[in-house]
Amino acid sequence: MPKVTANDLVERFNLEVLAGEDGVYRAITTSDISRPGIEMAGFFTYYPAKRLQLFGRTELSFFQQLSDEEKSERMEKLCTYDTPGIIISRGLTAPPELIESAEKTGVPIMRADVTTTRLSSQLTNFLEAQLAKATAVHGVLVDIYGIGVLLTGASGVGKSETALDLVRRGHRLVADDSVEIRQQHGDTLVGRPPELIQHLLEIRGLGIIDVMTLFGAGAVRPFKRIALTIHLELWDENKAYDRLGIEEAKMQIIDTEIPKYTIPVRPGRNLAVIVEVAAMNFRLKRMGINTAQQFSDRLTDVIEDGDREEF
């Protein structure tokens, strides 16, 4: 499972640690951020202790109106052993009661100079990206006319060679051989290469080549949303392949289903052109133009007109 700690936030957002340094390696398990305004008023029945707590000017201004006894009580309830961290925005001063309670339970108290709303947005986006469900797929990811196309298939079927031809035609390589995929924002799949093999492409008989060095920085991308998968397989004479394209197959990655095309491979077929056209046709479908369905409708009309003429 992906893991994020308060120390990751300190390094990523240049936060200042005010107290609870021993707890900076506590795991943050959710991307939800809590602003404990109602807890400052004394209502802790549904206190989300496992969330990152964010203090802004509103919470601290209200806190200053409490009595000394209430201040200590609220901070003790706020700083639990499950709390991954508390962040104070706008560079505001941390109440001494908060520092004291945090030191007892080891809750890291951090401070940022950013406004509360902006900080909340930045933290949420970062945590959603880091805590998203992830997997790795054997394949090649290419950006074709803005469409993220994942090429899959057995080893040696021609995925890397097809990707190389696509790069030569002006498209961009994202990852070869292994694609790390994260599911973000519900059902969005984002693929990126492992750091070790970024920008590299393996061609049998030639070896490993650096696409960015050979073709320039415009030939690669660090990541891309996956919209379509194309499975390459050796031609099977006994298998009936789709010739109209009306029925659309699906491939499930993590919890998301994406359209899947199966393209048979045999000598004489230009895979790069076929994959390129498949991406363009997929783009047309998203714009509401389905050529296969239009042909099927015209064919049905012709058949129905013929039946009426017989009568």
Q: Which residues are annotated as a binding site for ATP?
A: 153-160
Cβ-proximal residues to 192 (8 Å cutoff; 6+ apart), any chain: 174, 175, 179, 180, 182, 222, 223, 224
Which residues belong to the annotated binding site for Mg(2+)? 160, 202
Buried b (16+ CB within 10 A) or exposed e, 271-308: bbebbbebbebbbebeeeebebeeeeeeeeeeeeeeee
Active-site position among 57, 138, 204, 286: 138
**CA dist 99 → 19, 72, 78, 93, 235 (Å):** 6, 10, 12, 11, 68
Nearest in space to 35 (alpha carbons), one of 94, 120, 108: 120
Active-site position among 133, 177, 192, 283: 177
Instruction: For the chain, state the CA radius of gyration.
Output: 27
Q: Are strands 224-234 and 147-153 parallel, antiparallel or unpaired?
A: parallel
Helix (H) or strand (E) segment spanning residue 209: strand 207-210
Q: What angle do CA 38, 43, 45 make, to 5 degrees?
A: 120
CA distance 52 to 35: 9
The token pair that represents 154 in the structure block: 């057995």
CA distance 72 to 137: 52
3-state secondary structure of 119: helix
- Tell me, what amino acid is at 228? L
Q: Is residue 243 flagged as an active site residue? A: yes
Active-site position among 159, 182, 199, 221: 159
CA distance 54 to 121: 11
Q: Is residue 171 flagged as an active site residue? A: no
Q: Are 180 and 154 in contact (CB under 8 A)?
A: no
Active-site position among 243, 266, 305, 308: 243
Q: How many residues does the chain have?
A: 311
Which residues belong to the annotated binding site? 153-160, 202
Q: Which residues are catalytic?
A: 138, 159, 177, 243
